[in-house]
Amino acid sequence: MTAPKALAFDVFGTVVDWRSSIIGELEMFGERHGIAEDWAAFADAWRAGYPKAMDRVRTGDLPWLKIDALHRLILDDLLDGVGIGDVPDADVADLNLAWHRLDPWPDSVAGLTQLKRRFTITTLSNGNLSLLTDMAKRAGLPWDCVISAELFHHYKPDREAYLGCADLLDVAPGELMLVAAHPSDLRAARDAGLMTGYVARPLERGPGHPPPRVEDGEFDVVAGDFLELADKLGA
Amino acid sequence: MTAPKALAFDVFGTVVDWRSSIIGELEMFGERHGIAEDWAAFADAWRAGYPKAMDRVRTGDLPWLKIDALHRLILDDLLDGVGIGDVPDADVADLNLAWHRLDPWPDSVAGLTQLKRRFTITTLSNGNLSLLTDMAKRAGLPWDCVISAELFHHYKPDREAYLGCADLLDVAPGELMLVAAHPSDLRAARDAGLMTGYVARPLERGPGHPPPRVEDGEFDVVAGDFLELADKLGA
């Protein structure tokens, strides 16, 4: 395998543990407003609404909207669904920004720091740029730059997102490796000509949800975490 | 003055000393190829060609081109003009990337580090994203994110660049401060509704070229370097 010149990271689930973070934020929100709910189920439903909302943008059913706006649409529906309608708007807006405050997996900062010594490292996330910037600032994620699907007005897995990232970095698609915990993202990147690095995140959907099956040799590198990825890439 | 939420920095001349860096790179290039030239004058001519080339893009005379491509057009003309035509293309291409390897002013890294504690700090430069990313990585510039005119296909002083930066950061134009050593850039930012911070860089064009005159009260903050700017902004 030729070494890549740059690494682009999927973020939700790959770099940060969205589920634990969102459940924690929802629990605080519930305590503050005296609401008891199954917040783990609520978090899963919030996340589950997100690919559907993005697909409405990808197919043209909705105009371009940032993930912040899509998260808010889903959140408002979920709050209505459980009969929570009297919370002040500012509090709902703040809750929506919980996605800016996700905690990294334990190996993320150390692994990225090691990878950064050898490679240019960037996000390539459907999260909007301010979300990714706020998250990096809070969590100490040492990105060389922050690239979002927002810059292309094309959500992954649209080909434009992968190729747009390579163009901004001035590398050929084959010199850029997407790193992700999601085979579907990696397959779309591979179809666009990128290299692929799979990192398993077995706890992304909580305990008892094993990560997706990956065929031997399907991706260029497979690693258990970012530190192993760094070792395998010689960083 | 209300405090800004985010600071966007002009880069060439404001954060980095392009002139000394480019002269140094040209001298090395000359030595390697046995060419004697007035490299300071060559550097000044290279830089002088850049606003004209951008204006050709801004007026539609040229399609969108990255600064790397504009720098190369100007460089090829200048090399032809002094009769240097037999240098291998790879060496000219590498020389063109000298703009990715500019050194910061002595206060830049310390000042940005101090400002970053309180504010989101980003580039807002006409330099392309890979240029700004390479520069930050080499020089240790601690940006929270890297924003370039390239993302809007509008070079400063087009209004779209200033407003596009605010939109990506999810702040109102009036919550974003442009920091620059160039009054013309600051005036365009102010006209687009941004706050303005002027930092004098009296050595940008070499000794004996005093910085432009600035009227009292024309900009929201005036500072002698980034450390003074940080103090004045309470960071």
Query: In this predicted model, what pLDDT tens digit does every residue of B64-120 receive, in sequence order?
Result: 999 999 999 999 999 999 888 789 999 999 999 999 999 999 999 999 999 999 999
Mean of pLDDT values over B12-17: 98
Record the tokens describing residue A166, joined without a space: 């390579």
State residue A181's pLDDT score: 97
A176 touches chain B (CB under 8 A): no
- Look at the block and give the residue holding tokens 């980034």: B226
Alpha helical stretches, state H, chain A: 18-33, 39-58, 67-81, 89-96, 108-118, 129-139, 159-169, 183-191, 226-232
Burial class (CB in 10 A: 0-12, 13-18, 19+), B16: buried
State residue A103's pLDDT score: 98
CB contact under 8 A, A130 and B68: no
State residue B189's pLDDT score: 98
Kindly report, residue by residue over B174-194, the tens digit of the pLDDT: 999 999 999 999 999 999 999
Chain A residues in contact with B147 by the CB 8 A cut-off are: 129
B128 touches chain A (CB under 8 A): yes
State residue B214's pLDDT score: 87
Return the residue in B67, B115, B130 with the most chain A beta carbons within 10 A, the one to mutate for interface testing.
Answer: B130
Q: What are residue B124's DSSP bridge partners?
A: B147
- CA distances for A229 relative to A165, A199, A221, B50, angstroms: 21, 8, 8, 41
Size of the A and B interface in Cβ pairs below 8 Å: 55
pLDDT band at B57 (very low <50, low <70, confident <90, very high): very high
A231 touches chain B (CB under 8 A): no
State residue B83's pLDDT score: 85
> Searching chain A, which residue's CA lies closest to the CA of residue B170?
A130
Chain B residues in contact with A169 by the CB 8 A cut-off are: 129-130, 133
| Number of C-beta neighbours around residue A124 at 10 A | 30
> Searching chain B, which residue's CA lies closest to the CA of residue A97?
B170
DSSP code of residue B9: E
For chain A, list residues with pLDDT below 70: none
Q: Which domains does chain B have, with CATH numbers?
A: 6-17+103-232 (3.40.50.1000), 19-100 (1.10.150.240)
Chain B residues in contact with A150 by the CB 8 A cut-off are: 168
Minimum distance, in Å, between the CA of residue B144 and any CA atom of chain A: 6
Smallest CA-to-CA distance from B115 within A101, A113, A137 is with A137
State residue B163's pLDDT score: 98
Residue B137: HSE in the Cβ half-sphere, 13 Å Cα cutoff: 22
ipTM summary value: 0.96
Q: Which of A68, A145, A169 sits opposite B145 (nearest CB)?
A: A145
State residue A83's pLDDT score: 85
Kindly report, residue by residue over A104-136, the tens digit of the pLDDT: 999 999 999 999 999 999 999 999 999 999 999
Q: Of how many residues is chain A composed? A: 235
B130 touches chain A (CB under 8 A): yes
Chain B residues in contact with A145 by the CB 8 A cut-off are: 129, 132-133, 136, 143, 145-146
A175 touches chain B (CB under 8 A): no
Return the residue in B146, B150, B154, B175 with the most chain A beta carbons within 10 A, the one to mutate for interface testing.
Answer: B146
Minimum distance, in Å, between the CA of residue A170 and any CA atom of chain B: 6
CB contact under 8 A, A133 and B120: yes
Record the tokens describing residue B111, joined without a space: 């000042």
Give the span between the Cα atoms of A183 and A180, in whole angstroms: 7
State residue B146's pLDDT score: 98
CB contact under 8 A, B168 and A129: yes
Share of chain B above pLDDT 90, in %: 91
Smallest CA-to-CA distance from B228 within B140, B110, B116 is with B110
Predicted confidence (pLDDT) at residue B216 exceeds the cutoff of 90: no
Question: Could you tell me if A98 and A68 are in contact, meaning their C-beta atoms sit under 8 angstroms apart?
Answer: no
Give the span between the Cα atoms of B167 and B102, in whole angstroms: 28
State residue A226's pLDDT score: 98
Contact map slice: B 67-96 vs A, CB within 8 A: 68
> Searching chain B, which residue's CA lies closest to the CA of residue A164?
B151
B144 touches chain A (CB under 8 A): yes
Record the tokens describing residue B192, joined without a space: 């687009």
State residue B211's pLDDT score: 84
Q: Which amino acid is at B41?
A: A
* pLDDT, mean over chain B: 96
State residue B73's pLDDT score: 96
Is the dihedral angle over the CA atoms A109, A110, A111, A117 positive or is it negative? Answer: positive
Residue A174: HSE in the Cβ half-sphere, 13 Å Cα cutoff: 2
